């Protein structure tokens, strides 16, 4: 999931200062789990805006904010409230915000959240980064633990000389990713696999902006 954190409300206020009325859009997926785009978060934002002299014409939490077409269809029932707003504030990740940019051709769109990383919720509303979206996953060779993400240096061969007592030199409270990989391979009886040299990564596989079409056309479907 994409982990988001709400921006400082005062910085949002500063960014939107020239507008008076707003329609708020959340997201019922990642941003809801992060508490940054659920109904309560939207209500809090509406209260904050109103207490600062702004108007809120309406709000909506779409099923999946980054599903542009679905969100556009869901927003139809709020057509009047959207039209009445000077601008749109989106409380999801940057992808959801850019859905709104595509949907609202003639209205400014502002993000209320910062998108931080792709991670897992390890406990209720506690998140850890797990994947750097490198475009070619190698964790089949590293005991299911990503060194690119979990090692601050992104080393494909480790541990580095700074590792001490199994901890990382960059953040001494954190276990070294390569020690974790070693220990897991050992426990799985797969230590031999660590002798295989991992080739340098082809970073062009993660080139931005990424694009992918997984939809099969009709012809393929009937084959
Ligand atoms: S190797 Fe790449 S795709 Fe796989 S978990 Fe790590 S960053 Fe993500
Ligand atoms: S101590 Fe381990 S996790 Fe930290 S930078 Fe070195 S190899 Fe990476």
Q: At which of 116, 148, 180 does a domain end?
A: 116
| Same-domain status, 61 and 15 | yes
Of 129, 147, 152, which is closest to residue 2 (Cα–Cα)?
Answer: 129
Phi, psi of 114 (to 5 degrees): -100, 135
Q: How far is CA 133 from CA 113, 127, 129, 140, 199, in A?
A: 20, 17, 11, 15, 18
CATH of the domain at 33: 3.40.50.2300
DSSP 8-state secondary structure symbol assigned to residue 1: -
Between the two ends of the chain, the Cα-to-Cα distance in Å is 34
Is residue 121, in this structure, part of any structural domain at all? no
Q: Do 95 and 199 have their domain in common? A: no
Residue 195 and residue 161 share a domain: yes
Mean pLDDT value across residues 145-166: 97
Q: What digits encode the pLDDT tens for the residues 60-102?
A: 999 999 999 999 999 999 999 999 999 999 999 999 999 999 9
Residues 101 and 162 in one domain: no
How far apart are the CA of 136 and the centre of ligand 1, in A? Answer: 7
Q: Helix-strand-coil percent breakdown of the chain, rounded to 5? A: 35, 20, 45
Ligand 2 within 6 A of CB of 156: no
Q: Which domain holds residue 165?
A: 134-206
- pLDDT tens across 14-27, in order? 999 999 999 999 99
Yes or no: say if 97 and 112 are a contact pair by the CB < 8 Å rule: no
Confidence bin at 216 (pLDDT 50/70/90) = confident
Atom 4 (ligand 2): residue with closest C-alpha? 168
* Vertex 129 angle, CA 194 and 94, to 5°: 135
- Model-wide pTM > 0.85: yes
């Amino acid at each position: 999931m994409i982990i988001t954190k709400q921006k400082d409300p005062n910085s949002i206020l500063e960014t939107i200062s020239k507008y008076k009325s707003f329609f708020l859009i959340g997201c019922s997926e990642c941003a809801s789990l992060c508490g940054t785009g659920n109904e309560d978060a939207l209500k809090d934002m509406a209260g904050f805006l109103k207490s600062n002299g702004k108007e809120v014409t309406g709000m909506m939490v779409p099923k999946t904010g980054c599903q542009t077409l679905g969100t556009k269809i869901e927003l139809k029932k709020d057509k009047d409230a959207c039209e009445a707003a000077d601008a749109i504030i989106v409380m999801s990740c940057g992808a959801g915000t850019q859905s709104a940019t595509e949907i609202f051709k003639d209205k400014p769109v502002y993000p209320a959240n910062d998108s931080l990383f792709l991670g897992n919720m390890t406990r209720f509303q506690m998140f850890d980064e797990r994947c750097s979206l490198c475009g070619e996953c190698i964790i089949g060779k590293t005991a299911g633990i990503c060194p690119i993400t979990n090692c601050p240096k992104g080393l494909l061969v480790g541990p580095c000389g700074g590792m001490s007592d199994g901890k990382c030199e960059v953040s001494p409270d954190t276990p070294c990713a390569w020690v974790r990989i070693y220990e897991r391979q050992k426990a799985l009886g797969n230590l031999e696999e660590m002798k295989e040299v991992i080739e340098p990564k082809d970073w062009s596989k993660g080139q931005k902006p990424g694009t992918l079409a997984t939809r099969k056309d009709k012809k393929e479907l009937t084959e």
